[in-house]
Structure 1
Amino acid sequence: MHPDVRLLGGRYELVALIATGGMGQVWQGHDTLLGRDVAVKVLRSEYTGDPTFLTRFRGEARLAAGLVHPNIAALFDYGEVPPAGPTDEHLAFLVMELVRGESLSGLLYREHTLTPERTLDVLRQSAAGLAAAHAAGVIHRDVKPGNVLIGSDGTVKITDFGVAVSGSTVPLTQTGQVMGTPHYLSPEQAAGARATPASDVYALGVIGYQCLTGRRMFDAESSLQVVLLQLNGTPEPLPDDVPPPVRSLIEGALAKDPAQRFPDGAAFRDAIDDVLAGRPVRRLAPTAAVTAVPDPTGTLPGGVPLTGPGTEPETDVPQSRRRRLLAGALTLLAAAAVAGGLQLAGSSGDGEAAADTPAPTSTSAAPATPSPQAIALATADLVGRPVTEVQAELTARGLVVTLRPLQTADVPDNQVIAVDPTGELAPGSPVTVTHAVAPPAAPAPAPVPDTTQPTTGGDAAEDAADAAEDAADAAEDAADDAAEDAGGGNGNAGNGNGNGNGNAGGNGRGNGKNDG
């Protein structure tokens, strides 16, 4: 989707496409009034006519406008452009702080894993941003690597509050719809319960796990299977070289029971500070429903030890509660299947939002056969490069590429403008690469003959040919005349007039004289 106008609201100029997500596109823009670069998120044209999506988009603007923190991408403005004519579309857009850098998903694609020190830095800044949101009563609900931006100076900023909720939010979720991205979805969200600040902490724990291992915590052939694994699955252990305090921190954030997790972003941020300072981690107050198990090894209270496959996971979550969560989730999934399938809806970002998938025929939460390694695509890594280079790279990585030329004078010829979809893709997935094509040059006007000047070029050649032809004719006539003059005959001698035939082919006449 490309907006019909290049200047939104008479102020914001769209410069280059940055990313395409579930609800819209994010552009690098320029505020012509204040003279600064911004990020402009434009709602997809197919959604502007849907009151639910427009309401959610406006809700994102209201929630993000009230959040001011160094680790949250600032919202500057919101606007809508009504259609000017019957063929025009309704445009809605957000104007945000432009973060010069890359997403965490792009960083992980390039480096695969991060050191424990860098992982803690990313988690600490992310938790600080979420702490400000939680203090304002806002729950993000879709924390994932694509929504964690890392600036060129190392500053981390949380972005995209497209499915966030607050205490005053009007529910927009339909029955059977789970908001969020399955790979980073908390167990309580997967079970259909309302998200809490601890749900965002769980997502940060999953991100930390991925940073340290180079892989997602759970992966399967379908989004629905991933949701079931979030409910009852046990992840692979963290690598042996992860320091015990860091290991315990991640385990504490990944507790299946939200009551056993760090309760919000502020608590998780403080726990990270304790680990960085080498202090004992502050213990969480046990709830009435759950009794904390003393940990003589010094791991975080509430931590869920990670065990390998085939072993019974040690857990501080009562089995009765686990069974209730699983039963509730299966009931929800069964009801959704009857109604036409479970809908997993994520907000816009780097393409990690899950598509609708059919419900499985089995209620087992055992992991399915691992799917092939996913292929991560980041728009920032592809846009602006030559199209032949991008096509060759994506084809070599196992994707099916379709080229879409777009005539424009704003981007150099054969430069990639957009790639759709992006994020984590399965091998063999189709990818559309939009590239610039220079408009055809306007034909030069036909020259007007100038009758006041001597002819040149083609006319001169024609005149020269005519002159040569005239000269040849003249030469032929002269030759004929000369032959005729040379044709006099010899007359026979005698009295009177004698006639003779000239040898030269002419008729000659001579006068004869009698000598004798």
Structure 2
Amino acid sequence: MLTRYRIGEPLGKGGMGQVFRAQDRLTDTPVALKRVTVSGKDLRFASLSDTSDFRLALAHEFRTLASLRHPNIISVLDYGFDEKRQPYFTMELLEGAQDLLAAAKGKSLREQVDLLVQTLRALDYLHRRGIVHRDLKPANVLVTPEGVVRVLDFGLSLAPDIFTGVDGYSTGGTPAYMAPEVLRGEGTGPAADLYAVGVMMYEMFAGRHPFDTTNATKLILSVLRAQPDLESLDPRVVEPLARLLDKDPANRYPTADATIEALFGVFDETVPAESEPIRESYLRASRFVGRESELETLMAALEEAAKGHGSLWLIGGESGIGKSRLMEELRAQALVSGALVVRGQGAAESAAPFHIWEEPLRRLVLGAPVDDLAAGALKTIIPDIEKLLGRPVPDARDLTEEATRRRLVTVIADLLGQQTMPAVLLLLDDLHWAASGTSGAASLDLLEALMVRIPDLRCMVVSSYRTEDAPELEKRLAIARSMKLKRLTQADIATLSESMVGQAGRDESMVKFLAEQTEGNVFFIVEVVRALAEDAGSLREVAAMTLPARVYAGGVQQVVERRLNRVPEAYRPLLREAAVFGRQLDPAVLEHLSGDVDLETWLSACSSAAVIEIFDEQWRFAHDKLRDGLLQALDETAAPGIHARIAAAIEAVYPDEDAYAIALADHWRDAGQPVKEAQYALTAAERVLIASDQKAAREMFTRALVKLPPDRTDERIRAMIGLAHMFDLSGDVKQSEQYLADAAKLAESSGQDKQLHNIERGLANLYGRRGDVDRALTHAQKAVDLARERGENADYGRALIILGNVYRAKGDFPEARRSYGQAQLIYERLNDPTGLALTTDYLGMLLAREGKNAEADPYFERAYGLYKSSGDVVGMATTLLNHGYNKALMGDMENAIRLYLQADEAYYRAGMRFGYVSTRAAIGYAYLTQGDFDKALAYMEEANKGFQELADPNGTMGTRLNMGHITRTMGDHDAARRHYCTALAQLIEHPSPEIICEVLAAVGALQSDKGEYARSAELLGLARAQQRFTPDARKLVEETLPAVREKLGGEATEAALKRGENLTVEDEIKRLHAELCAEA
């Protein structure tokens, strides 16, 4: 409770507990939070029995209360148990409300009767739902400043014997409103609530309680035996009061509805027609039927989840079959069981990447510790995460799409695992929207990646989808358990009909009529009953009407049209615009669109017509069929204008929020304005790229490039650079190179130096990864020159780092050091800790590669501290990896493995696949050095597979080379030869000075093992002659030469070494490949 709500000042205290003002952190709205502080033995409510567990029974009661919606009751919003296992629930907070008696004071008889009628309408609704209020008193009947009665605290009461012997209770004390039968211990029924109404009615008209309340014992005796004085009251109210206050409950009015009729009789009037809000309250709360076995199965799965055996479920069925109602019932029962329930909603309209995950994750971050790494990863999904956590959150490192998804999976799995509730139920509604369309793809991809982790979590994921809209979903989520909902049977229809109409709903003719009209579709059943009630005048009069041959001759479309036609004509234009906007309504956008229409009145009218509803504190269309009906009826000639109005409204209401870019691109497209579409498509592409939704980003970049006119050069260049990045990430280097080349031409011709600098950096990185260091050097130098012209800034520093990387790849360590040093000076002047950390780490690696390991150590320590101060967890992990490598070169394997394992964990949690794979390779190398060959080979094989998946040639070659070292050391020369052969084949395609040197030394060592000493010496000589004579290569040469010299003699060995120095590297690599592969 304390994670979601901030508790404020107390609002009141009663016998059951205390009410506080609280702030809901999720909705940012004030609520009234009631903590029930009495023990279970002192409470009475419908769900409690002699054998039931108090908390479980109370949770069942809360579940029922939370499902109730009526104009005259205060809605229970949330409920549960606090850290002391005491129950609590939250309600709407009414500002400026008075209790019933205070509000009635000074009012006319008609006004007072109106307040009583509203109270009785609330009771009628509760009683028809099987709920007795049990604690009706003026303090529990509040009246708003607008004169609307709101009944609260229904369903719960204190046990009668808790008041025994207590003196001094005023009329505000609960015993003053207890019926005689309750005091006699005969139980509490609807008649007891009507007695309490009678007491309040007497106080309202007489100005005092019907009995002396100064002594509790005397009060109880009076309630049981004495008759109230009615002679001084208005004669018109005597008969209703006498019946309500009768000692025998059988003599009171049979129902609250009958009492309402009696009160209208005071003025010789009949009860007015049933209002739409009243009728809707019965229809919307119709009973849950026909899905009992499915619910039982799901609850059993939730019990297993609480034991650590999570599961994923797909609930499928046609539109209107009852999927949402089943999930609502599951939600209620899950809360009963103590589970944390979080819910996400799919969207048909354009939405941000990971849209369906936003609300569930907002709730989860409140229930577990979230470090900066996790918060940064979630920032692209939860825009207000800083507000929720109450602290600044640094942006996460940019990663590839796969790495971002992996990072999110780790973060979400951690969040689910750290929740303190027994289990987590994650409900995802309308998953079919995520299975189709660009904007939902990332949400479904994330679920698909997460599903393999779910079985090991205390988590159950239940998703609903329309089978007709996503027939392939089951195949994609193969691990999920499928549940297909069928239409209701006649027995189920009878139960549902009774809950809406009353006992007459079970009549054979009614059930048969509903079955024929609806074929058991739940949505249609409710709509048919609604239509019958409209024709008959009220739900209760449906039983007496003659059933028509058909209600809807035109099928589904007419069902929808009839409902929509209940909205006044003046309100339909805004309703159509709301449908175009999306299923979820945005009051701020609607306010901008509303013109002369009062939005509150419009919301009330559409809600009364059951076209829109409040769901999870948000307005939305009550059913997708209603929105679809509006869209299908939309005039094609009017559609562009509506889209333009909506787009303009979004721009006005959210002028600087990129989250709406996808929606705006689509609205401007449908409005026929391609340039505006392209502008927002470009913004959307860059936004979804941050979320690493590459499919959506590529589509948006392409849309932008196609629609942008030639004179929008800056935006066209941005789109080209974006597409180049997309193709680079997907491994299509040629396409990436082509887009960058086209962008460079456009930038040069239009004088876009800033963009040209970005392009040159991109080309340098592209060629550097391909091993084409000469071309990489050319473009890196151009990037540096362009950045230098604009002064010392972060771009200049980044360009120098890229230049340093290229020089390092070429083996020119002095130039690399100079470039890194220049960048470091720039970052020092800019006071940029991340840039300083990066250059310091690179300088440490240069020293390590040169064998100056003791000098390198302080660089890594300083880089780690800088990364830590800026909260860059990935940078910290990289430095740990590099520091571990330096320790390994120093022979300090214990510390090397310690640092590697720390880096390994950090990379894994960050979802940074490249770093994680690199660390696996480093750990393997450390175990090789320690002589643990089995562990070394296992780690190296895993890393080799990872580098292949990442399409990283250097990583793939390096690990393959090390696999050769390990198997050679183990004495398996055939396996070593195969590994070296594979490494050589890749080396021919992707030359790398470092790996060339190490391959030559490694194959030289293998030749020595085979007894080919002269050939071995030649290769060792060629290795020594390389500019990049790495520490690993030097070690191999030094280990192998003694055996060669022993066999060949000193003079012959030196001659062979000299011959090797004069060989051509390129030719020798090809020759070695041919020789080894022939032997293999």
- TM interval, shorter chain, is 0.3 to 0.5
Structure having the higher strand fraction is 1
Greater relative contact order (Cα < 8 A, sep 6+): 1
Structure having the higher helix fraction is 2
| Length-normalised TM-score, structure 2 | 0.22
Larger radius of gyration: 1
| Length-normalised TM-score, structure 1 | 0.44
